[in-house]
């Protein structure tokens, strides 16, 4: 073989080598670009989700603070209402006293009028009667003693009339003074009532304002929770899209996963039931078993952690774990617990390592069970 032929062959091999190297680099760049774009999209959604959760926490704190303030205002309103009722009762009692006193004054005025009219009649009888003059009294008297006696009797009658009128006037004056005092008390009670009503109205206005803010916070919480749910769905979809290319490569040469039970304790069972409830709580029992099977398959696969905790807390794998919803589950329901126990005991229903929310626009492979697609 000539040196020229050897050189040409080496050159051709070199060109082929360069060609494959170029294809490999291009494929790597394309995959890297896809992964980078997907990761950026996922990161943006996660950032929006975290910001929404911060706003949700702030709204809940604001709602709690407003509810506490509303409770204090309601307590103050209750106090003022009690004070207002007490003032109203005292006003009613005071008005009753005034009414009784007015009646007493009227009775005394009537008595005074009767006494005055009686005195006028007696005076008229004594001084204006034509049948019985002072000379008649003098002539009819047997002696001076009888005359003085009759004169003293007339004086006593006059003194009695004057005394009765004086006493009645004093009593009426006292009653009128008491009436003035009662009216002053009533005026003070009216002023106190007006103040209490004004303060109650102010508190009612504050209560209405607080309630309006609480309603607004409640509406904000409702919207934020709905948005959080949408973000979770979006995170799942973006994570699924980001993993789709990896899944296709990883699942090409996957061995058939056998029904290998997992060593577990009560804590593991609770965690498995909780993640099944978060991911498939609204799915059929078949869907719950499928989600649990994926997790057990990962435990038994060399590509993932070999414990339940390692699989669940792997970065960017389970959105309920990332969002914190998984951590707040306190006792999953009976069906999720049953499914968790079955898959941990080796009842594996699907040969898959991945799943996400099914989207007919992007998913063209895998096994669809309920709302999920499994790879």
Using one digit for the tens of pLDDT, what is the confidence trace for 21-40? Answer: 444 444 444 444 444 445 55
| Strand-pair category, 355-357 with 367-369 | unpaired
CA 35 to chain centre: 44
Same domain, 223 and 283: no
Question: Cβ distance 94 to 186 under 8 Å?
Answer: yes
Same domain, 6 and 49: yes
Q: CA 104, 109, 115, 118 torsion: positive or negative?
A: negative
Domain that holds residue 7: 1-250
Mean pLDDT of all residues in 230-236: 84
| Strand-pair category, 372-374 with 367-369 | antiparallel
Same domain, 213 and 271: no
User: Among 250, 270, 299, which residue terminates a domain?
Assistant: 250
Model confidence pTM above 0.85:
no
Question: Cβ distance 196 to 83 under 8 Å?
Answer: yes
367 DSSP 8-state letter: E
User: Among 203, 227, 250, which residue terminates a domain?
Assistant: 250
1 confidence band (pLDDT: 50, 70, 90):
very low
**What's the pLDDT tens digit per position in 107-146?**
988 987 887 787 777 766 665 554 455 555 555 666 667 6
Same domain, 170 and 303: no
10 Å CB burial of residue 369 (0-12, 13-18, 19+) is buried
Same domain, 165 and 229: yes
The number of domains in the chain is 2
Mean pLDDT of the chain: 81
Same domain, 224 and 274: no
| CATH number for position 257 | 1.10.10.2520
Same domain, 155 and 273: no
**Percentage of the chain modeled with pLDDT above 90:** 46
Question: Cβ distance 276 to 288 under 8 Å?
Answer: yes
Q: Please, how many CA atoms are within 13 Å of residue 38, restricted to the half-sphere of its CB?
A: 18
Q: Please, how many CA atoms are within 13 Å of residue 150, restricted to the half-sphere of its CB?
A: 15
Residue 245 vs residues 85, 222, 249, 314, 352: alpha-carbon distances, Å: 76, 36, 6, 19, 15
Judged by average pLDDT, the poorest of 73-87, 194-208, 230-244, 316-330 is 230-244
Name which of 309, 300, 304, 273 is nearest 289 in CA terms: 273
**What's the pLDDT tens digit per position in 153-187?**
667 777 787 888 788 888 889 989 998 998 999 89
Question: Cβ distance 211 to 74 under 8 Å?
Answer: no
Same domain, 296 and 222: no
**Percentage of the chain modeled with pLDDT above 70:** 75
């Amino acid at each position: 073989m000539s040196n020229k032929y050897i050189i040409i062959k080496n050159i051709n091999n070199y060109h082929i080598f360069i060609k494959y190297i170029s294809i490999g680099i291009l494929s790597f760049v394309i995959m890297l670009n896809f992964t980078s774009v997907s990761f950026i999209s996922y990161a943006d959604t996660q950032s929006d989700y975290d910001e929404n959760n911060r706003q949700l926490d702030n709204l809940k704190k604001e709602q709690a603070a407003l509810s506490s303030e509303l409770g204090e205002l309601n307590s103050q309103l209750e106090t003022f209402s009690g004070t207002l009722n007490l003032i109203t009762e005292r006003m009613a009692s005071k008005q009753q006293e005034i009414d009784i006193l007015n009646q007493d004054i009227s009775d005394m005025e009537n008595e005074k009028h009767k006494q005055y009219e009686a005195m006028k009649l007696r005076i008229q009888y004594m001084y204006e009667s034509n049948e019985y003059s002072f000379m008649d009294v003098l002539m009819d008297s047997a002696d001076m003693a009888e005359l003085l006696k009759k004169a003293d009797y007339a004086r006593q009658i006059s003194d009695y009339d004057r005394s009765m009128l004086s006493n009645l006037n004093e009593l009426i004056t006292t009653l009128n003074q008491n009436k003035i005092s009662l009216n002053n008390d009533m005026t003070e009670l009216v002023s106190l009532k007006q103040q209490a009503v004004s303060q109650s109205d102010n508190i009612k206005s504050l209560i209405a304002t607080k309630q309006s803010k609480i309603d607004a916070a409640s509406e904000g919480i409702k919207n934020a929770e709905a948005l959080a749910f949408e973000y979770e769905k979006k995170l799942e979809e973006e994570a699924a899209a980001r993993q789709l290319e990896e899944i296709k490569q990883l699942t090409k040469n996957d061995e058939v996963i056998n029904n290998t039970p997992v060593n577990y304790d009560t804590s593991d069972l609770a965690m498995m039931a909780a993640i099944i409830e978060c991911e498939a709580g609204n799915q059929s029992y078949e869907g719950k078993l499928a989600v649990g099977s994926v997790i057990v398959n990962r435990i038994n696969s060399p590509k993932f952690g070999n414990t339940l905790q390692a699989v669940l807390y792997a970065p960017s794998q389970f959105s309920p774990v990332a969002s914190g919803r998984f951590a707040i589950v306190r006792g999953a329901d009976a069906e999720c617990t049953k499914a968790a126990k079955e898959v941990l005991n080796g009842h594996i229903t699907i040969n898959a390592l991945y799943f996400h929310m099914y989207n007919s626009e992007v998913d063209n492979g895998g096994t669809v069970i309920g709302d999920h697609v499994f790879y």
